[in-house]
């Protein structure tokens, strides 16, 4: 019986994650459940995540591991700044381009709590900034995404 899953990034780095971590992603949870796989499944092969590089996947898993025992996220309630703990503030203390990449990954993996937190943070960063700043940040993230997709091909 295995309670750990192996998630593999597009650059071939494998990460171990338990069920409490994996099920925070509605995408992964739905995929596994549709194949009849749960925390008690044996001989589970690696789960490839071709849209995520190891840096982004590692950071996402770090967030999910930290929040593994949180109560289920209620996306029907408005997101409040109080939801961001000191740990979260330190976690999100990265450059804007990387925050955008994390937001894309959180959306792809359908991790609502992380998506909402990143949306709030990115809006806070961009609010009141010049159009040029916003466009540069989005362009840098787009170039990174395009480069990653080209390397995957």
Per-residue pLDDT at 67 exceeds 80:
yes
4-152: which CATH topology?
Potassium Channel Kv1.1; Chain A (3.30.710)
SS3 at position 68: coil
| Residue recorded with tokens 């209620």 | 74
Q: What is the 3-state secondary structure (H, E, C) of the chain?
A: CCCEEEEEECCCCEEEEEHHHHCCCHHHHHHHHHCCCCCCCCCCCCEEECCCCHHHHHHHHHHHHHCCCCCCCCCCCCCCHHHCCHHHHHHCCCCHHHHHHHHHHHHHHCCHHHHHHHHHHHHHHHCCCCHHHHHHHHHHHHHHHHHHHHHHC
Q: What is the pLDDT of residue 74?
A: 86
d(CA 153, CA 144) in angstroms, rounded, equals 15
Residue 51 has pLDDT above 50, yes or no: yes
pLDDT of residue 26: 95
Predicted TM-score (pTM) of this structure = 0.81
């Amino acid at each position: 019986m295995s309670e750990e899953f192996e998630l593999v990034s597009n650059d071939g780095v494998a990460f171990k994650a338990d069920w409490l971590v994996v099920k925070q992603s509605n995408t992964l949870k739905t995929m596994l459940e549709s194949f009849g796989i749960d925390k008690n499944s044996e001989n589970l092969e690696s789960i490839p995540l071709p849209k995520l590089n190891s840096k982004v996947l590692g950071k996402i898993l770090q967030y999910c591991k930290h929040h593994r025992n949180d109560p289920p996220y209620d996306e029907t309630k408005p997101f409040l700044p109080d939801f961001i703990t000191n740990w979260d503030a330190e976690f999100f203390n990265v450059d804007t381009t990387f925050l955008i990449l994390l937001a894309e990954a959180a959306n792809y993996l359908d991790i609502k709590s992380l998506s909402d937190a990143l949306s709030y943070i990115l809006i806070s960063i961009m609010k009141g900034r010049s159009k040029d700043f916003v466009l540069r940040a989005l362009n840098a993230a787009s170039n990174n995404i395009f480069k990653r997709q080209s390397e995957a091909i």
